[in-house]
Chain A
Amino acid sequence: MRFLVKKKITLSFLILVFFVFCFLVFNKALIKDKTYSPEFKNEKKSYLPDFSLPELYLSDEIQLSEVVKNKEFSLVNIWASWCLPCREENDLLRSLSSLSYLQVIGINYKDRKKNSIQFLNDYGNPFKYNLVDKDGTVSINLGAYGVPETFLVNKNRKILIKIIGPINNNHVKQIKEIING
């Protein structure tokens, strides 16, 4: 009888441990961020991957790493003419583009050339370069959730800030703080 009781206690203990284990796993799974973002998977997560895309006006292929070297900081902005919030953030982007240590680089996401040029004519062009991502694969590779999305990077393409959605005055303040050291 005593042996049986002991066996029962051991068994229940094991079962309890198993349940606690399950609980912990589920708990961790819940907290874990489940959004799929390819570039954040490995160590290079804090760097923007390099790519080359045609320029909107020049139609030449432009390498991101080459362009980024020119200035101390670059603001990479994914936008499209069909995206309403992109219109709202255009003013802020233009004001940022006047800063001396910063250049704004646009990635034109899944757009038509005619529409995007029309957009820049209507709302103003904050972009030093505008790289055309016709089928959107590059943007997805950057880990973009949608348009607009903005990355502040340094000369080495290290990501300093990542902004999902349109930028606002707070973001502008943050960006300025970083640029001014």
Chain B
Amino acid sequence: MILSNSGFLSLLLGLIFSFAVFLCAVLNIKKNLLNLEKKIYKFLTLQFFFVVIGFFILLYSFIISDFGNETVYNNSHSTKPLFYKITGLWGNHEGSLLLWLLVLTSFIVFFFHSSKDEPKNFRLYTVIFHQIIVIGFFIFVLKTSNPFDTLFPKPQEGLGLNPILQDPALAIHPPILYVGYVGTSIIFASALAAMVTGYVNNVWAKNLKRWVLISWVFLTGGILLGSIWAYYELGWGGFWFWDPVENISLMPWLSLTALLHCILTLEKRDLLKNWSIILSIVTFMLSVTGTFLVRSGILNSVHTFANDPSRGIYILIFLFVLIFISFVIFLIFENKNLENKKEIFFLSKETSVLINNWFMIYFLSVVLIGTVYPIFLDVITSEKISVGPPFYNKLLIPFLVPFFLFMSVGPSMSWIKTNLKFKVSYIYYFLLTSAATIITIYFLTQKDFLLIVLIFSLVFLSIKTLSNFLKNNTNHAQNLSHLGFAMLMLSILFNSVSSTEIIKNIKVGESFTSKNEKITFEEVKTNEKKNYSSIIGTFEIQNDDNRIIKLYPEIRVYNQPVIATSEAAIKTTLFKDRFITINLIKDEQLFNVRYQNKPFMIWIWISTLIIIFGGTFAIFSKKKNYS
């Protein structure tokens, strides 16, 4: 009781300091008082400090299982392992918003501290715009999603954390993703501030680049972890389902990727100002839209925990207020940051960045429409539809071919103007790519035109990117990320083309064959753990050359709350994953066995890691000036 009340009080104090920061910043714009600036810094730190206190109080409540706190009661249980007691904090609506607030307030302190060399008014405006977001979220947390609501009388036991959320990858997925999301709030505030103060130039771009990179790296990492979790935990053998909630993490990623390229152009050439500003705004709006769509329960999805319309309406209004503010500011101050009328030569890096932008905007629109259209249709005509993979495949895949080709040549272009000279190496590239494509196609069972073209363009992209590593004077961070991207796309392609699946209902002792493998269901054991009991099957997979692999898929029945989950058994090798899940069939001795062969799974994770590594490399190698 005391604990929860002090947590609430702490957040309230945080909110008071948010207002104080806001006021000081507004006052300081007209006057120039050094001591006010010190005050802002102090208040920002205090605001952060009180959120930290609140966060730790909630954390402590989770650790000691204080079921007098409603959030703890709803999402924890005394038999939970300590690790999941802790991660239970952000496995729910209230706690995750507190985490969001924590990241939000820490970032602005960090920004204020690290931007000392930048113009005073730009910093102040950034703080002002950012504080609007902070205050909005503070009120949201305190008013509609208070994590410190108390229960009286105190319940003896909690309701438990949803077992499918009890997974190491998912435990760190929200914090990582949030750093990515919240990082875009700084980009947003900074873009608005730069507009107002007429500071949209290459210096601004240079400083903002770091924030863009940080958000981008964490967003990519968050998406990766979510995919890994889906692959291991959901038991369907897929890693991306075009689920609305996955889409809303992909959308900010797409616009952030476009922004990253724009910022580089702005830094080097003082071009694409409007693009950079609009993309900065759009990225953050998409992040908030994501929060809105996930947290309001407007979508029916695995991720929707909360189903409270008042929360949804609050975020919705907040979102549109932000859109309105940015729109008005853009209109008023657009003239202040006029694009300098430089000619863009059609064969130049600038053009390739522009082309990249248009592709990203196209991909973004497709995902956006696919995600939001069902909601619109439901409201307007009451018809319920769900948009699935065929929609995205049809609209996205054909456009990937030109995208890959542009991506291959883009990085080799020079700024300003590229002199096109015929080189013998072009023929080599072409021959090499063709040869590699033919060899690849030979190994694939499925051969259609689109697939061949896709592979050709991807192989070309890989070879071209690899060759860039050999050149001097190239951006290795960029090469790494591009290479990772090419590998990712190739792995996904091979994975989706040559995955096989076989579903059988069999008893213990029986076996079935899949291609050249014989799968035998050897035995069933039961096992008791602290928070669940499980049924473990033993499967033996024997292939042509008599190599034997044993797999142990599980059915877990968690005790709090009582939910059965199917734990996949996965044998990962360099070139393919063997994936097996079992399910009980009611009242019978039969088990439903699903066996999948998933080639190149591990390369999907590895190549995404390479992309992330490239981004990280770029954060730390900011000193060098590549041409």
Residues of A whose CB lies within 8 Å of any CB of B are 8, 12, 15-16, 19, 23, 25-32, 34
Contact = CB atoms under 8 A, between A and B. Distances in A.
Contacts of A26: 292, 298, 316, 375
A34 B300 contact: yes
B323 A30 contact: no
Contact of B331 (A12, A25, A28): A12
Interface string B330-373: 01000000000000000000000000000000000000000000
B379 interface: yes
A24 B613 CA distance: 42
B379 A19 contact: no
A175 to B, nearest CB: 29
A34 to B, nearest CB: 6
B323 A25 contact: no
B429 interface: no
A29 B375 contact: yes
A32 B378 contact: yes
Nearest to A26: B316
16 contacts: A8-B331, A12-B327, A15-B327, A19-B323, A23-B316, A25-B376, A26-B292, A26-B316, A28-B379, A29-B298, A29-B375, A29-B379, A30-B296, A30-B298, A31-B309, A34-B297
A110 B378 CA distance: 32
B320 interface: yes
B29 interface: no
Nearest to B382: A41
Nearest to A8: B331
Contacts of B324: 19
B282 to A, nearest CB: 13
Nearest to A9: B331
Contacts, number: 38
Contacts of B312: 30
B320 A30 contact: no
A23 B318 CA distance: 11
A32 B379 contact: yes
B380 interface: yes
Given A25-B379, A32-B378, A19 B320 contact: yes
Q: Shortest 7 CB-CB distances between A and B: which pairs? A: A30-B312, A28-B379, A29-B375, A29-B379, A23-B320, A25-B379, A30-B309
Given A12-B327, A25-B375, A34-B300, 8 more contacts: A19-B320, A19-B324, A23-B320, A26-B316, A29-B298, A29-B375, A29-B379, A30-B316
B316 A27 contact: yes
A39 to B, nearest CB: 15
Nearest to B300: A34
A27 B376 CA distance: 11
Contacts of A27: 313, 316
Contacts of A28: 379
Given A16-B327, A25-B375, A25-B380, A30 B300 contact: no
Most buried by B among A19, A23, A34: A34
A29 B292 CA distance: 12
Interface in B293-311: 296-298, 300, 309
A131 to B, nearest CB: 22
B344 to A, nearest CB: 22
Contacts of B316: 23, 26-27, 30
A117 to B, nearest CB: 19
A87 B165 CA distance: 33
Nearest to A12: B331
Contacts of A12: 327, 331
Contacts of B331: 8, 12
A25 B312 CA distance: 13
Contact of A29 (B320, B323, B378): B378
A112 to B, nearest CB: 10
A30 B331 CA distance: 30
A108 to B, nearest CB: 17
A82 to B, nearest CB: 13
B416 to A, nearest CB: 29
A8 B332 CA distance: 11
Contact of B313 (A19, A30, A32, A34): A30
A23 B319 CA distance: 9
Contacts of B327: 12, 15-16, 19
Nearest to B308: A30
A26 B371 CA distance: 13
A32 B312 CA distance: 12
B505 to A, nearest CB: 18
Contacts of B313: 27, 30
Most buried by B among A12, A19, A26, A31: A26
Contacts of B300: 34
Interface string B169-202: 0000000000000000000000000000000000
Nearest to A32: B379
A141 to B, nearest CB: 17
A77 to B, nearest CB: 25
Contacts of A32: 378-379
A31 B313 CA distance: 9
Contacts of B375: 25-26, 29
A52 B222 CA distance: 52
Contacts of A34: 297-298, 300
B405 to A, nearest CB: 34
B162 to A, nearest CB: 18
A158 B318 CA distance: 43
B499 to A, nearest CB: 32
Most buried by A among B296, B376, B379: B379
A26 B378 CA distance: 10
A33 B379 CA distance: 11
Nearest to A30: B312
A68 to B, nearest CB: 30
A25 B316 CA distance: 11
Most buried by B among A19, A30, A34: A30
B497 to A, nearest CB: 35
Contacts of B378: 29, 32
Interface string B371-395: 0000110111000000000000000
Contacts of A30: 296, 298, 309, 312-313, 316
